[in-house]
Structure 1
Amino acid sequence: MNLRPDPTFHATPKLAMEAPAETLAFTLMLSPDGSEPDGLAVIDVDPKSKTYGQIVHKLMMPNKGDEFHHFGWNACSSALSPLTGHAFLERRYLIIPGIRSSRIYVIDVKEPLKAKIHKIIEPEEVFAKTGYSRPHTIHCGPEGIYVSTLGGGGPDGTDGPPGIFIMDCETFDILGRYEMDRGEQDKHYDFWWNLPRDYMVSSEWGLPPQFENGIVAEDLLSNKYGHKIHFWNLRERRNVQTIDLGENHQMALEIRPAHDPAKDYGFCGVVVDTTNLQGCIFTWWQKDDGTFEAKKTITIDPRPEKAENLPPLLQGFEAVPPLVTDIDLSLDDRYLYVACWGQGEMHQYDVSDPMNPKLTGKVELGGIARGAKHPNGKGFAYGPQMVEISRDGKRVYWTNSLYSTWDDQFYPDDEGGQMVMANVGENGGLELDKDFYVEFPKGYRSHQIRLEGGDCSTDSFCYPSV
């Protein structure tokens, strides 16, 4: 334990933006067929380094079939909350769940180039202590590590609804379920919060039979995937309101509240509108009476395409949907980045006015029936997917794999894992860095990214920016 707060913890988003720039990134590698163990890649992101844009260390796991997906830190700026009993934690460990195995790895990255396994939590412990399975999103909270899950109990994860459980942030013991009253929440995906205002927001993807073996077209067209967002009293662990975005808004995924806790709004990305194949973003906000509302503020149209150029799943539509699979918000709450995985585009929106976003930048890379090349002339499998933003907002990193079985359905002829970076203009705009292009080892795909010292989808701030 430190004797003073970790210097990578910041009271406000503005202070975090002023911190030193990242020099390393941590990126998950997954073996899509489970023939090899998954791993963690440490990547040099320091443009002054001789190994810039290269994998400088790899840590491979001892098991196969985990399917690494999302991961997060043991501690972050939320440790500075006046509610915490853990102000002197270190941002030292990465918590990596296997979405397919329900196994959880705790990785010590105090010395990043000597990253090592600190602890392994076997799936049997997860099942026994929570009744949940398929752990997904990791968020470090003031009093512990919160883990969302995509499955309930039983072999197929449908014995009871999924939810959130909490781990001790020092011993990494599983403490138990979060929910005291879940209301009508019966599916899960992402979650995040506004700590001073004491509320949490969660979203929905689908149950394991709806995603593990690929998208179930019949369920999608019948609007059976998640389409609600849930608002919780954070400390009481109680669902206080549910908003149905409309059953046609299938797969409400990433939750991105404003980083400045004085602001009372956030964003949720929706993969597809089944009435028109659009992707969209909803802005949600809290009203003066404490209740919440949500409004669709961004729509992205499908692109017409000849059936013969499309995967079988899309041939009947003769169009490429955007497939909004990830979003991320810069620390100054100015730019929202939207990954259009199907069309092969990364969009940048100015959301200074969260109810009236404006498109300010766009990059084309990969994409169904497009296959746009990187500026260095190399290919990019699939499309832009998991996106991460530097604390100062000047660099945007992304990878390309969505989920192994979904990759194969939408991009049956593609293979490979890449990570790229785009520079952000002073007044917006995006331009791919031609010198930053990471190709992961053959047989591996890449998913979520974490940046040394914290990033824009990790830290929760407890005090308003000045």
Structure 2
Amino acid sequence: MLIQPDPTFYPSAREAMRAPREKLAYVALLDTKGEGRPDGLATVDLDPDSPAYGTVVGVHDMTVPGDELHHFGWNVCSAALCPYAPHPHVERRYLVVPGLRSSRIYVFDVKDDPARPKLVKTIEPEVIFERTGYSRPHTVHCGTDAIYVSALGNVDGDAPGGVFMLDHDTFEPLGPWEADRGPQRLHYDFWWHLGHDTMITSEWGTPNMIEAGPDLGLLVGRQYGHKLHVWDLRKRTHLQQIDLGDQHQMALELRPAHDPTKTYGFVNTVISVEDLSANIFTWYLEDGVWKAKKTITIPAEPADPALLPEPLKQFGAVPPLVSDISLTLDDRILLVSAWGTGELLAFDVSDPLNPRQTGSVRVGGITGRAAHPGTPGTPRNGGPQMVEVSRDGRRAYFTNSLYRSWDEVFYPDGIDGWLVKADIAEDGSIALDPGFLVDFAADGRRPHQVRLQGGDSSSDSFCYP
């Protein structure tokens, strides 16, 4: 047992911003060739003083194919310092890696050799089904008292989806989190305001709605998720739902303020059925009621139909398809990844209800195929997708694959995987680093979620301002 708390735990986001620079990234790799090859967990060197900087220094293959690794996280983090459920002597030692398609969860130990994670436990799908009633684990967050995991649906791949818990010592499934879910059925992400005992959840769709790829009928019928749900975090009961408008389909990533005294956050909706735009909403608490306001609109871009994949030809435009967002620890800069147009945008959200754009870079895109500055003249496919920001708020790392069946619809010629870095200036402007490009084309697998050694902007929550 540690005598002192893990040195990567910080009581506040402000303290975490003073942490040492990250030296490693862990990246989930998706096999797409259908030849029986498993997914992998890659380690990338991020130390600029290392001769291996910007290269893959290790890959661990999973035990069986077909997992579709997704949004993995740590067993514990800075939330362990919270006063009402303290666990200060646990270690940020394990990565908990869910297989979205297989419903299998892997646990990796990174303590002894951080560059080469060691698989120490596998939770088989049948155990998750039996003990939680859920399937398709998607996102992992370290809480004050347990590991929390979102699941997109029930065992049959239908509604309801929700959250279940794992013991953060044994990793055994503890059961479903919800005591009373009220009207909530669809599910995607979850996060919390620890200082206000409040959880927020979002909606995408059930596994049966998404696994075969985007369904135009469901989209036009406005059947994908478009609501936020507010919960009492301690009582585990549903309090309120916020409808963002059924034209705003697929309410995905949740990024609450890191300051636990604040009661606001941001969520992205992937596509509007009215004009193909993507939108960012700010949720906030006002006079005891949780509300949401559309604060950023990213429009679709006109395009030659001949260059568009089949579902988009009739529209003659590329939707931005915003699929991820990331908020710096000082709650000042919001990074927005537009996977369709190949753009990473930056916004100053110091005034959360009135964001101001501060920067933009492009790489990839459905029709743009913008080159990376490190390899000018080489078109890139895919686009900014999963984005993660360093603790000091100066570097954003992002990958280009979303979800296998959706990749194939919007990028039918395939996606050659890459991981790149954008530097974030003090004024919020961003620039691609021409010297950092990790190309996964030789490996043949596509990168998705990125986690940074010691924590990053979306792995930890804090109990002190």
2:137 corresponds to: 135
1:60 corresponds to: 61
1:395 corresponds to: 395
Residue pair 1:98, 1:134 contacting (<8 A) in 2 also: yes
SS in 2 for 1:196: helix
1:177 corresponds to: 176
User: How far has the Cα of 1:69 moved from its partner?
Assistant: 1.4
Residue pair 1:261, 1:462 contacting (<8 A) in 2 also: yes
Runs of 4 or more, structure 1, over 6 Å off, are none
Residue pair 1:243, 1:294 contacting (<8 A) in 2 also: yes
2:321 corresponds to: 323
2:424 corresponds to: 424
Q: Distance in 2 between matches of 1:229 and 1:415?
A: 32
Q: Distance in 2 between matches of 1:231 and 1:401?
A: 30
Deviations 1:67-111 (A, max 9, x none): 111100000000001122422111000000100000000011112
Query: Mean alpha-carbon deviation: is it higher for 382-391 or for 28-37?
Result: 28-37
Residue pair 2:24, 2:115 contacting (<8 A) in 1 also: no
Deviations 1:345-390 (A, max 9, x none): 0000000000100110000110011100000124432110000000
Q: Distance in 2 between matches of 1:210 and 1:443?
A: 27
Residue pair 1:77, 1:461 contacting (<8 A) in 2 also: yes
User: How far has the Cα of 1:3 moved from its partner?
Assistant: 2.3
Structural mapping, 1:53-132, within 5 Å: 53-110=54-111, 111-132=113-134
Residue pair 1:73, 1:91 contacting (<8 A) in 2 also: yes
Structural mapping, 1:357-372, within 5 Å: 357-372=355-370
Amino acid at match of 2:303: E
SS in 1 for 2:246: coil
**Normalised by the size of structure 2, how large is the TM-score?**
0.98
Q: Distance in 1 between matches of 2:32 and 2:183?
A: 34
Q: Distance in 1 between matches of 2:105 and 2:32?
A: 18
Amino acid at match of 1:124: E
Residue pair 1:330, 1:336 contacting (<8 A) in 2 also: yes
Q: Distance in 2 between matches of 1:208 and 1:426?
A: 41
1:16 corresponds to: 16
Residue pair 1:416, 1:442 contacting (<8 A) in 2 also: no
Is 1:342 aligned to residue 321 of structure 2? no
1:443 corresponds to: 444
Structural mapping, 1:151-162, within 5 Å: 151-154=153-156, 157-158=157-158, 160-162=159-161
Q: Distance in 2 between matches of 1:55 and 1:443?
A: 13
Residue pair 2:374, 2:436 contacting (<8 A) in 1 also: no
Is 1:266 aligned to residue 265 of structure 2? yes
Q: Distance in 1 between matches of 2:70 and 2:381?
A: 17
1:411 corresponds to: 411
Query: Mean alpha-carbon deviation: is it higher for 130-139 or for 413-422?
Result: 413-422
Residue pair 2:366, 2:381 contacting (<8 A) in 1 also: no
Q: Distance in 1 between matches of 2:455 and 2:287?
A: 32
Deviations 1:10-64 (A, max 9, x none): 0000000001010111111110244311111110011111111000111111111
Residue pair 1:396, 1:422 contacting (<8 A) in 2 also: yes
Residue pair 2:165, 2:174 contacting (<8 A) in 1 also: yes
Q: Distance in 2 between matches of 1:176 and 1:210?
A: 24
Structural mapping, 1:208-227, within 5 Å: 208-227=207-226
Deviations 1:249-303 (A, max 9, x none): 10000000000111110000000111111100000001232x2000000001100
Q: Distance in 2 between matches of 1:24 and 1:330?
A: 19
Residue pair 2:199, 2:232 contacting (<8 A) in 1 also: yes
Deviations 1:220-256 (A, max 9, x none): 1110000000000000001100001011110000000
Amino acid at match of 1:132: Y
Residue pair 1:302, 1:319 contacting (<8 A) in 2 also: yes
SS in 2 for 1:352: coil
Residue pair 2:372, 2:434 contacting (<8 A) in 1 also: yes
Amino acid at match of 2:49: K
SS in 2 for 1:422: strand
Q: Distance in 1 between matches of 2:25 and 2:339?
A: 22
Question: Judging changes above 3 Å, is the alpha-carbon distance between structure 1 residues 379 and 41 closer, same or farther for their aligned structure 2 residues?
Answer: farther
For residue 352 of structure 2, the aligned residue among 349, 354, 362 is 354
Residue pair 2:196, 2:260 contacting (<8 A) in 1 also: yes
Q: Distance in 2 between matches of 1:435 and 1:90?
A: 34
Amino acid at match of 1:331: L
Residue pair 1:422, 1:432 contacting (<8 A) in 2 also: yes
User: How far has the Cα of 1:186 moved from its partner?
Assistant: 0.4
Deviations 1:105-142 (A, max 9, x none): 00111121231101000000000001100000100000
1:39 corresponds to: 40
Q: Distance in 2 between matches of 1:49 and 1:384?
A: 26
Query: Mean alpha-carbon deviation: is it higher for 259-268 or for 29-38?
Result: 29-38
Deviations 1:138-187 (A, max 9, x none): 00000000000012122xx11x4111000000000000010011111101
Structure 1, gaps ≥5 residues long: none
